[in-house]
A = this chain, B = another copy of it.
């Protein structure tokens, strides 16, 4: 900018004003400056700006990991909305560890992000590090795994409803005895989805059988073992609701290895993204989270907080039941 001023023989202030179309400047001058600026490939230095205004137009994101489709898709939604509002995003991963979560938070604050969008790690049970943000007046929005909802806005999915709907779909399409494979009971999403499953059974006056519920860990192996356990019972289920994608794929393998047909012998519903549900055989009926939308919602919540102080708000982005071939016994 100094160079531009020198080259045009005017002052720096003039250049500054010309560049932002200050109404109190001659059009001619304005044009001259802009032309030269373009020619010299001038770019405003954002650090000077940030230093001045203390608004770096930067949003921080904290996720358990970026490799899981669920998170990467949400990040995608967040950063697209951010970019459209000329914000940039910085992403940090906790790898589900409490210590790394604290570290990430610290880093983002040091970088002086304007706000933080976060999803809790599995390990986190103490929320004080987030609590402090309220004092420092740094906006925070949670998604999926949330806490301190009176203080901070959040975006969640309808876990109870989605599991309930999935169960009802199974009942409506010819399944009678439905098994459930979940994860550690202390996780809220496990409780909620199991709750939805049980609710559907209750609504249909179907007695609840403990043996049909298998809850250990959320991974492929436990999905496989869960299905093996359920199917080797004396009176095995004729349908399984699997609580996550890895569990569903593990269960699918177990069913096939037993020589059972999907959905004729055992119907199956999972929670997965669009693409991978279609890659398997038969295509998997699944609850699909509107992850991109969740990301957009989270970012919009943040942007609104950034503009004016708004009351904490929850947004529920409903999950969709994508019916494919793995669940429908009685084709019409």
**A residues bordering B, Cβ < 8 Å?**
41, 43-48, 50-51, 56, 65-67, 69, 72-73, 75-76, 79-80, 83, 88-93, 107, 109-112, 136, 220, 246, 249, 252-253, 256, 275-276, 278-281
* B89 adjacent to A91 (CB under 8 Å): yes
Are A88 and B90 closer than 8 Å at their CB atoms? Answer: yes
Could you tell me the distance between the alpha carbons of A268 and B41 in the complex, rounded to whole angstroms? 51
**List of 7 A-B pairs having minimum Cβ-Cβ separation, nearest first:** A47-B50, A249-B279, A47-B51, A47-B47, A67-B72, A72-B72, A281-B281
How many angstroms from the CA of A110 to the CA of B93 in the assembled complex? 25
When all copies of this chain in the complex are counted, the total is 2
Interface centre among A46, A65, A73, A92 (most CB of B within 10 A): A46
- Min C-beta distance of A96 to chain B, whole Å: 14
Nearest residue (CB) in B for A53 is B47
Measured CA separation A93–B72 after assembly (Å): 12
Inter-chain contacts of A112 with B (CB < 8 A): 43, 45-47
- The CA-CA distance from A43 to B51 in the complex, in Å, is 14
**Is B90 a contact partner of A107 (Cβ separation < 8 A)?**
no
Task: Please measure, in the bound complex, the distance between the C-alpha atom of A267 and the C-alpha atom of B70, giving whole angstroms.
Answer: 32
CB A231 to nearest CB in B, in angstroms, measures 17
